[in-house]
Structure 1
Amino acid sequence: MRRGSAEERTRIHNLFRRQKSPLRDQDSVTGWVQIPDRETIVETDSSGYVTGGALSQKGDDGIMRPVAAFFKKNAPAECNYPIHDKVLLAVIRCLEHWDAELRRVASFTVWTDHLNLRYFTKKQQLSERQARWAETLSRYNFTIQHRPGKEAVVPDTLSRREQDMPHSAEDDRLPGHVQLLQHIKGGGLVTRVKSGYVTKR
């Protein structure tokens, strides 16, 4: 299967559709998130080279289920962002990608493994880039909740797909002095994503 191919994206999308079961046949992503008071969570992560995220919502049975997945390679300039900006970039991308869905709920929670993001909106001095992002964040009614990286299985997996990571020193996302990251060893993408959805009532 070709790296980053439409076939692979379809495979991941189908995985999330299977994980959403049981839902009524007529339920769609849009139909599900139109319920304003339903608990909604956006999980985000950045590996430094890729941003990833998952949109989930709690069903009538009290079980949190996935709605959609998102991942995108960072541009070379974005790979040089400070770590907190890389993590915030993942949040911004996910909110913009699911803008229509998130505007239909009363509020939602963003889960991130970077503790300092909870205080981002309180910072007195922002860079020009952060100021633009702050304006984007102001459009949504949400809270940021810290969650340890080891618990962020789904977004962590989506932001660390082996085919999206640098594979040679010629990759223009890599500074000359940076060594290649260790790729995920053992267990496939599907297995890791599934393990992130342990259904609990």
Structure 2
Amino acid sequence: MARPLFNLLKRDPEWRWNAEHQDAFEAIKESLLHAPILVLPDPDRPFSVVCDASDLAIGCALRQADAEGRERVIAFGSRQIKAAEKNYAVHDKELLAMKYALVQFRVHLLGSKPFVIYTDHASLCTATQSPHLSQRMARWLSFFAENNFEVKYKPGKQNALADALSRRPDYELAHGTMVTSSIPDRIRASYASDDMCAALLKDLGSKDF
């Protein structure tokens, strides 16, 4: 949802605010006003985590069942896939989403009761038992060992919460708008008309400075 806004923070692209960014901004504001409403964690109840990955982003959510057995969301997490991570195999991207979830929710999960991580990538259920691990996976699995959890498979259709955080299929540029302002020119003119600022600018431009 926030991907268009994060793209504005990149160093190279020219900063342009267009309809795509405005729509993302309005969608974020709207989502903060409606369900699902986040709840406070209960340390006496077990947690569950859902996570997912796509070619665009990774997403996760920390949940807990209430007294009536309804799954309630405690926290969300998502971020864009980095350039190097786009080259990861699907399996590694899904494992990356799991690692990201454990880092994001570490304050709740570390030392908690045994919890479940749900993924729509079935091979992750046996990832720790693989005899052939890459160096990356070995590092991640050593990090996972700090937590007491079980990985369970949940088909993508049933994992809509994390799936929605990790992918948006409708990214298309509607139109671009160039933002112009006379403020920088007015500031420069004001500097030139101010005696103290004009003297300072003259000194800064001197070869002897």
TM-score relative to the length of structure 2: 0.65
Find 1:129's aligned residue among 132, 136, 156.
136
Compute the displacement of 1:19 (Å).
Answer: 2.5
TM-aligned CA distance change 1:12 to 1:4, over 3 Å: farther
The 2-side partners of 1:94 and 1:81 are apart by 18
* Secondary structure of the corresponding residue to residue 43 of structure 1: strand
Matched with 2:146 is 139
Find 1:51's aligned residue among 33, 51, 58.
58
Matched with 2:46 is 39
TM-aligned CA distance change 1:141 to 1:61, over 3 Å: same
Structure 2: give runs of 5+ residues left out of the alignment. 7-23, 174-209
Find 2:112's aligned residue among 105, 108, 119.
105
Find 2:36's aligned residue among 19, 30, 34.
19
The 2-side partners of 1:86 and 1:13 are apart by 28
The 2-side partners of 1:53 and 1:10 are apart by 20
The 2-side partners of 1:39 and 1:149 are apart by 23
Compute the displacement of 1:41 (Å).
Answer: 1.1
What value does the CA root-mean-square deviation take over the aligned residues?
A: 2.6
CA deviations on 1:54-100 (whole Å, 9 max, x unpaired) are: 11100112111111111100111101101100000000001101000
Tell me if the contact between 2:48 and 2:62 (Cα under 8 Å) persists in the aligned partners: yes
The number of aligned residues is 154
The 2-side partners of 1:111 and 1:166 are apart by 31
Structure 1: give runs of 5+ residues left out of the alignment. 22-27, 168-201
Find 1:119's aligned residue among 122, 126, 141.
126
* Secondary structure of the corresponding residue to residue 126 of structure 1: coil
The 1-side partners of 2:32 and 2:150 are apart by 26
The 2-side partners of 1:57 and 1:123 are apart by 30
TM-aligned CA distance change 1:34 to 1:9, over 3 Å: farther
Query: Partner amino acid for 2:5?
Result: G
Query: Partner amino acid for 1:4?
Result: L
Query: Partner amino acid for 1:19?
Result: P
Do residues 151 (structure 1) and 168 (structure 2) align? Answer: no
Say which one has the larger Rg: 2
CA deviations on 1:102-131 (whole Å, 9 max, x unpaired) are: 125211100001111011111122111001
Percent identity (aligned) = 31
CA deviations on 1:122-169 (whole Å, 9 max, x unpaired) are: 112211100110011101000000011111111111101358x697xx
Tell me if the contact between 2:46 and 2:113 (Cα under 8 Å) persists in the aligned partners: no
The 1-side partners of 2:42 and 2:86 are apart by 32
Do residues 4 (structure 1) and 31 (structure 2) align? Answer: no
Query: Partner amino acid for 1:91?
Result: M
The 2-side partners of 1:122 and 1:12 are apart by 40
Query: Partner amino acid for 2:36?
Result: Q
Tell me if the contact between 1:110 and 1:145 (Cα under 8 Å) persists in the aligned partners: yes
Find 2:71's aligned residue among 64, 69, 72.
64
TM-score relative to the length of structure 1: 0.68
